Chain A
């Protein structure tokens, strides 16, 4: 069949020539998203945004490594890890929308919230450093998140439990990747040892925040839906200890950087880099708010 122009061809009522998409947008399509009994939908939505924003924002930092990694294999690894986290973020943001009960989808949360509405930990948003900083941050982030997700597989919310069960499999590979590089760098040359040591020192002040529960996490933890992050500290310390010993590195000693009046990432109080990150992440969607692709 011939057409006068390309536009006519792609808008024709015969989808045998379609190229991209049939409008599918909801990653939770067909999943039962009823909020568990005894739980406030707003709390569950806030909790899903916390875990979802951690993944979305750190994934963005990992994407900044595309074309900047030291080796092709690491370029591919970092991009894959970023993609896994982006997938986790999409599921969690979509789950937040369903828990909230309105018609907000993942794009609303990712592109049309202001900085103070993002609930990710500050560790996720720190500007990209060198490869030593990347490995240090990925080690801390994935060790923490894996410990949370492994516990979250028991959540009374079946959707969260399912997202966590899937995430555990992915995070296991992320943590092993970071741990093996940490050992290689720490037990490598004088220079590589210096890079990973400095990397760990730069992210360490943000680790306490990972284990400081927000009231929503405590309330939902009591209800058997969320994980109180302080419960994961011992496992985190044990895993980090194994890695640091193998890497012949000392445990970093750097004082925690507190939030503002006790408020940090989980309460929407972020560091300077966050505004720049969002400006890039949100620019296209905000310039063309009605666009679909």
Chain B
């Protein structure tokens, strides 16, 4: 029997299907006791509409692998950070034409206001050029911003640093 950890780690994200929940860093813990599997996941954003589907997919995958009793728990702290996306996950994002996030800001105290463009340096995932610009900090899903390459002129998505 495949371990519960291995089964859960293979489940993919509903909105970024090239990544597993483990690649994305939302799979926090898988434990098994007396035949019951407990999986802990954390939301990327508060309103992430994929949470329900992630739960369902985890339960479904584990039941399919022979684990009859599965409980999926939410963990809220520490809050998810884009820093938790694994190296493998970053490579898969880039291969899918999505620019992976840089280092997330670490702060304490009042959050400084940003009136200019963000300090992030983003390379075009299509042609590799560093000549890119931000179109919008908000994209098709909560976790992505929209950028454009000035060299090849292609638009592309960038996973935001949080």
Interface size class of B (residues with CB under 8 A): 35 or more
The contact of B46 among A21, A163, A172, A243, by CB within 8 Å, is: A163
Given known A-B contacts A21-B52, A87-B48, A243-B113, A166 and B79 have beta carbons under 8 A apart? yes
**CB-based contact B73/A31 at 8 Å:** yes
**CB-based contact B56/A21 at 8 Å:** yes
Confirm or deny: B115 has a beta carbon within 8 angstroms of a beta carbon on chain A.
Answer: yes
Partner-contacting stretch, out of A43-51, A154-162, A196-204, A220-228: A154-162
Residues of B within 8 A of A30 (CB): 40, 71-75
CB contacts under 8 Å to A, within B144-162, are: 146, 160, 162
Confirm or deny: A96 has a beta carbon within 8 angstroms of a beta carbon on chain B.
Answer: no
Residues of B within 8 A of A180 (CB): 114-115
Given known A-B contacts A169-B162, A179-B113, A162 and B76 have beta carbons under 8 A apart? yes
B111–chain A nearest beta-carbon distance, Å: 5
Confirm or deny: B84 has a beta carbon within 8 angstroms of a beta carbon on chain A.
Answer: no
**CB-based contact A77/B73 at 8 Å:** no
Residues of A within 8 A of B64 (CB): 16
Q: Please report whether the interface of chain B is mostly helix, strand, loop or mixed according to DSSP.
A: loop
Q: Please report whether the interface of chain A is mostly helix, strand, loop or mixed according to DSSP.
A: helix
The 8 A CB mask of A4-19 against B (1 = contact, 0 = none) is 0000000000011010
Confirm or deny: B110 has a beta carbon within 8 angstroms of a beta carbon on chain A.
Answer: yes
Question: CA A141 – CA B136 in complex, angstroms?
Answer: 21
26 chain-A/chain-B pairs, Cβ below 8 angstroms: A21-B56, A22-B56, A24-B55, A27-B51, A27-B74, A31-B73, A73-B135, A76-B146, A77-B137, A80-B138, A80-B139, A87-B45, A87-B47, A90-B46, A91-B46, A150-B111, A161-B77, A165-B77, A166-B79, A169-B79, A170-B162, A173-B138, A173-B160, A176-B137, A180-B115, A183-B115
